[in-house]
Amino acid sequence: MKVRIFPAYEDNYIYLIEDEKGSAILIDPSEARLVLEYIKQQSLTLTAILITHSHADHTGGVETIKTLTGCLVVSAQSGSIGLQDLHVQDGQILDLLFPIRVLSTPGHTLDSVCYYVLPSPGQPGSLFTGDCLFIHGCGRLMGQPSQVFWQSLQKLSALPPETLVYCGHEYTEENCRFALTLEPNNLHLRQRLEEVRRQTKQGLPTVPSSIGLEKTFNPFLRTESESIRRALAMPPEAPGWQVFAELRRRKDRF
Ligand SMILES: [Fe+2]
């Protein structure tokens, strides 16, 4: 499986996953032109579009691409872009080019789902997270309870550490800077920020990350961490979702 990354708009990512036979699946096409050109150039057959949630900056290209290619459009039941052929539910396995498990991850929106391409011999799984999990951060809460979002992130955190993480936006540098406000003396985090800055300066995407790296650097997956709780002045007995809620409040003001 090959994953091609298309930067779009200011900081969006569109992903195209290809098999060896020239078939492909698109994830969150915010725009159509870029990917249609590539698909034509490479003579690929587009099988499906997977939508992580219904925000326009993840779905803007869907109508044009569907009209021109006739591909299947997949999204959550509660998604509302009006072009879906297939509504998916938590735990469902899609048998497209590869077996893909749907993980329902409400929080950023009610209709948020992540797509987990299952591991195969010699290849780790790949997780497409939309605006649920970012590299070293997470999406904004938009009307959902903190507890619900935290549970969704816990679900992702339980995947194997080598799972590759492909998210919907390039926010990694800002997320690292926020994480450092909590742990200014975390040397690993400082080194990580430098690495991210080097990549960003060269115009390189910081995706993919991995679940293991996220559990090391992402404060929203580290709600049990003593040093994070100390930084927030929250006691060890506070439930994880409350730590998450406080982190999210602070990040919103960052
Ligand atoms: Fe979004």
From 209, 216, 128, select the one nearest 172 (Cα to Cα): 209
State the distance from the centre of ligand 1 to the C-alpha of 109, rounded, in angstroms: 7
Say which CATH class 2-166 falls into: alpha beta
Active site residue 11: no
- The residue ranges of the chain whose pLDDT is under 50 are none
DSSP 220: G
State the distance from the centre of ligand 1 to the C-alpha of 118, rounded, in angstroms: 24
Active site residue 19: no
Assess contact for 177 and 189: CB atoms under 8 A: no
pLDDT given for residue 38 in this prediction: 97
Q: Which residues surround ligand 1, an ion (CB under 5 A)?
A: 55, 131
Which of 11, 19, 28, 58 does the annotation list as catalytic?
A: 58
pLDDT given for residue 84 in this prediction: 76
Residue 166 burial by CB count (10 A; 0-12/13-18/19+): exposed, middle or buried? buried
- Kindly provide the b/e burial profile for residues 199-216, where b requires at least 16 CB atoms within 10 angstroms of the residue's own CB: eeeeeeebbbbbbebbeb
Which of 28, 87, 111, 169 does the annotation list as catalytic?
A: 169
58 three-state secondary structure: helix
Preceding omega of 208 cis (within 30 degrees of 0): yes
State the distance from the centre of ligand 1 to the C-alpha of 112, rounded, in angstroms: 9
Which of 28, 108, 111, 136 does the annotation list as catalytic?
A: 108
Determine the Cα–Cα distance for residues 76 and 52; give it in Å rounded to an integer: 8
State the distance from the centre of ligand 1 to the C-alpha of 121, rounded, in angstroms: 33
Active site residue 58: yes
Active site residue 136: no
Domain range summary for the chain, segments of one domain joined by +: 2-166, 172-253
Active site residue 28: no
From 75, 3, 6, 2, select the one nearest 36 (Cα to Cα): 6
State the distance from the centre of ligand 1 to the C-alpha of 75, rounded, in angstroms: 14
State the distance from the centre of ligand 1 to the C-alpha of 226, rounded, in angstroms: 30
From 74, 166, 180, 181, select the one nearest 125 (Cα to Cα): 166
Determine the Cα–Cα distance for residues 176 and 172; give it in Å rounded to an integer: 6
The pTM score is 0.97
Which of 11, 19, 28, 57 does the annotation list as catalytic?
A: 57
- Kindly provide the b/e burial profile for residues 30-55, where b requires at least 16 CB atoms within 10 angstroms of the residue's own CB: bbbebbbeebeeeebebbbbbbbbbb
Angle (deg, nearest 10), helices 33-41 and 62-69 = 30
State the distance from the centre of ligand 1 to the C-alpha of 80, rounded, in angstroms: 13
State the distance from the centre of ligand 1 to the C-alpha of 43, rounded, in angstroms: 31
